[in-house]
Amino acid sequence: MLLSTKDDDNNQKLHSNFICASQGVAGLGMLSDHGEKDHGWFPHEDYKWNQNVGRGVHHWNFRNFILERMNLPTNVRPRRTKPLVILSTGSSHRSFELEPHREFLQTTFPETEVVAYNLKDWELKEQLEAVADAAIYISIAGGGTFTAMFLPKGASLVLYYTTGLEEGPARLDYDFWNNLGYLRVHWLPFVEPKKPAPPNDAVLEALVRHELQVLMQQNVDDADKDTTRREEAEA
């Protein structure tokens, strides 16, 4: 039986303050766009109101809760000296080939490590381990993008979405991602898989360059804070 704080269609109260079970599963529940909304983007009404404003701290706590129970570090900043850029393939059936984008970004930004992963073929712990240390995560908006919520604080999420549907732009889980306060989220449109975003897109290049600069500044600021704390401790 599903216990809820809401009445069912027959107006029968099924909610309870106590649940007894030998096993359980923790999830985001109503913090996802599949709670009060239809699918986070369709129909158009989903774009007209937000349910996750001010709830970023709950998403962050849930992220750390899962990582801790997978025996993974909950590091605030990416630990790598060479920034990791992940392109997630296969995250949506509204997709296009991202390998040319990976090659373009690796050539353009040799100071980074740019990889393309099909995370759905990985074990859960492997997915979290890779994503939790990334600086930039690029994906086509879809269910497979969910792993991005385990990015570290201050990381950048770049989401491609199709504008070629009659129902409207497919910015899936728009409300969820835009209120994930610990990430820097950006949306880039493409028409349809047959007309994908070009790998040498000037907008993508400028965006990645800007996000890497922001990350470098964050690292400088963190180093300055560490120096200040050491000096104060020694004084």
User: Residues 6 or more apart from 80 whose CB is under 8 A from it?
Assistant: 113, 133, 135
Q: In the numeric block, which tokens belong to residue 105?
A: 């970004």
- 49 domain-assigned: yes
Decide if 36 contacts 46 (C-beta within 8 A).
no
pTM reported for the whole predicted model: 0.79
- 3 domain-assigned: no
Give the C-alpha separation, 182 to 76, whole Å: 10
> Element (H or E) spanning 105, and its range?
helix 99-108
Give the C-alpha separation, 187 to 171, whole Å: 8
Kindly report, residue by residue over 81-105, the tens digit of the pLDDT: 789 999 998 766 666 788 889 999 9
**Burial class of 140 by CB neighbour count within 10 A (0 to 12, 13 to 18, 19+):** buried
- 19 domain-assigned: no
- 232 domain-assigned: no
Total structural domains in the chain? 1
Kindly report, residue by residue over 38-56, the tens digit of the pLDDT: 666 665 666 676 777 777 7
- 78 domain-assigned: yes
Quick check: 183 pLDDT over 90? Answer: yes
Identify the domain containing residue 190 by its residue range: 28-221
- 4 domain-assigned: no
- 175 domain-assigned: yes
Distances (CA, A) of 218 to 31, 61, 212, 222: 28, 22, 10, 6
Decide if 38 contacts 162 (C-beta within 8 A).
no
CATH of the domain at 40: 3.40.50.360
* Closest residue by Cα to residue 208 from 105, 115, 113, 129: 105
Percent of the chain whose pLDDT exceeds 70 = 69
- 229 domain-assigned: no
